[in-house]
Amino acid sequence: MNQSLNIRKTLGISQKELADILNISCKRLSQYENETAVVPKELYNELDLIYSYMKLAISYRVDLNTMSDCMTQRKAVEQLLKENKKQRDQISDHLTKVELKYKEELAKKSMLWLFAKDKKDHLFSSYQRLEDYLKKPSDFPQTEVMIYKTKLNVLNFEKGKLEAQWRMLESSIEYLESNPDVDAAGAGK
């Protein structure tokens, strides 16, 4: 008995329920595939849950007996890849803004320091206070940068897994297309 079947039994999720999760999720999401479609608020609030269920169904392997099964799962993987790209784009955008803000902050500090050094009428203590201020580490932007980079790494890893899954499904579909007798036998199961 394979590990994914054990996990399914432990969770109390049947093969049919996993297939239903994929089918229902794909149908609900495919209504709003084009960019101009307005996603209803109640569905928008459920999107994270729908994507989580789809990932669960794919992770714990819906049996791929027929071409229809493969195509449904491929559609789900494509939707997850699309969502993954959207999230990566958002995080990359946030990361760029935070890094730019951090660079601007450092540039301002450097300019301020150069400007202050150029003044002859400042007392040594004023320079010292300014120097202390400039040497203070600005932890917040660095921490924020690290958080966004970690999120991006996780999403990139997930993207790799989804792409591998998509390739596997694509080759299964090609195999079933060239062997209709195998597809028919799978449908009879």
pLDDT tens per residue, range 59-85: 666 566 677 777 878 888 888 888 889
Confidence of residue 92 (pLDDT cuts 50, 70, 90): very high
pLDDT, residue 159, reads 92
Q: Does the pLDDT at position 162 exceed 70?
A: yes
Closest CA to 75 of 91, 57, 88: 57
Place of tokens 């002859």: 120
- Using the predicted structure, report yes or no on whether residue 150 has a pLDDT greater than 70: yes
- CA–CA separation, 133 vs 8, rounded Å? 57
**Residue 1 confidence (pLDDT):** 43
Vertex 110: Cα angle to 108 and 114 (nearest 5): 115
Q: What H or E segment, with its residue span, contains residue 6?
A: helix 3-11
Residues 6+ apart with CB under 8 A from 188: none
**pTM score, whole prediction:** 0.61
Instruction: Please check whether residue 59 is in contact with residue 51, taking contact to mean a CB–CB distance below 8 angstroms.
Output: no
